[in-house]
């Protein structure tokens, strides 16, 4: 079994072109859904480890990477969730697990409650818990917009370090290379939806085994949020990665996989 990238490909699903990267090729299928400004390739280092045991498909969410983009698309949460459902169907995947980070975790929740029979289990990595009447998401919109605009003009790893000071040179180079593919209106819509669309309302409708992974230094999910999440979906398995910020595997790669354990194959 190999954890190497097998190929990248495109599929027409939910009326758009969806680009994905496939790693490993053996074991249970897993769809990895990145966050708000993370094209699929930036999660390759995680996918390679996962692919030692699983058949991993890392997707470019619409408006990012090599998937469809432009002013005519809807970038709301419901559309992104329908993309994942349609992609799984188009690839004829047998009840894949969904592993989503940040925005990707919100997409996973919405997709699984919309088509519960389509997915076997969920891993929700530090999803934004902001929403109407809730505290705002700790990151600010200009952080995303300013870095995207610089990347559209051309930015190197040194320039990107201003935005991601703890990242390695390799990670910064990859982000500098790919961030320009993040369509600014798509990112603005997703960020605004963090505050308009209350994902807590979906939680009682979950039916799959689910894990919530919390960044100990992320500031996104607080103990009170964990309590509310558990009250809404008591079977939720909640784990913490104490020494990681919101970008958990970037900050603590081994801690990420220690927290994940064998959840995907139980």
CA gap 142, 147 in Å, rounded: 8
Residue 83: which CATH number? 3.40.50.1820
The confidence score (pLDDT) of residue 1 equals 46
The confidence score (pLDDT) of residue 266 equals 86
The confidence score (pLDDT) of residue 2 equals 58
Residues tagged active-site: 102, 222, 246
Q: Of 106, 99, 109, give the one whose Cα is nearest residue 127.
A: 106
Q: Is residue 123 part of a domain?
A: yes
What is the share, in percent, of the chain residues with pLDDT greater than 90?
Answer: 97
Please state the rounded mean pLDDT for residues 107-117. 96
Q: Is residue 115 part of a domain?
A: yes
Mean pLDDT of the chain: 96
CA gap 43, 59 in Å, rounded: 10
Q: Is residue 48 part of a domain?
A: yes
pLDDT in tens, 125-177: 999 999 999 999 999 999 999 999 999 999 999 999 999 999 999 999 999 99
Contact in structure between 89 and 57 (CB atoms under 8 Å): no
pLDDT in tens, 180-190: 999 999 999 99
Q: Is residue 249 part of a domain?
A: yes
Domain that holds residue 81: 5-135+197-265
pLDDT in tens, 218-243: 999 999 999 999 999 999 999 999 99
For the chain, the domain total comes to: 1
The sign of the torsion formed by the CA atoms of 213, 215, 218, 221 equals positive
């Amino acid at each position: 079994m190999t954890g190497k990238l097998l190929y990248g490909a495109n599929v027409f699903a939910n009326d758009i072109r969806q680009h994905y990267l496939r790693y490993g090729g053996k074991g249970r299928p897993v769809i990895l859904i990145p966050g708000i400004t993370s094209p699929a390739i930036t999660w390759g280092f995680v996918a390679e480890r996962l692919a030692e045991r699983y058949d991993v498909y890392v997707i470019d969410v619409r408006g990012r990477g090599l998937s469809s983009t432009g002013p005519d698309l809807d970038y709301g949460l419901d559309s992104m969730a329908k993309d994942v459902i349609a992609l799984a169907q188009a690839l004829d995947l047998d009840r894949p697990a969904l592993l989503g980070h940040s925005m990707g975790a919100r997409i996973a929740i919405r997709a699984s409650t919309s088509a519960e029979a389509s997915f076997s289990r969920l891993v929700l990595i530090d999803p934004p818990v902001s929403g109407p009447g809730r505290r705002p998401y700790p990151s600010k919109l200009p952080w995303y917009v300013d870095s995207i605009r610089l990347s559209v003009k051309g930015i190197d790893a040194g320039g990107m370090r201003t935005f991601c000071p703890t990242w390695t040179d390799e990670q910064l180079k990859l982000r500098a290379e790919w961030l320009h593919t993040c369509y600014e209106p798509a990112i603005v819509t997703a960020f605004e939806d963090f505050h308009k669309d209350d994902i807590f309302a979906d939680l009682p409708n979950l039916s799959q085994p689910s894990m919530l992974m919390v960044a100990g230094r992320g500031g996104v999910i607080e103990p009170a949020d964990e309590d509310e999440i558990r009250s809404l979906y008591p079977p939720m398995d909640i784990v913490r990665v104490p020494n990681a910020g919101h970008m958990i595997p970037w900050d603590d790669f081994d801690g990420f996989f220690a927290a994940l354990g064998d959840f995907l194959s139980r």
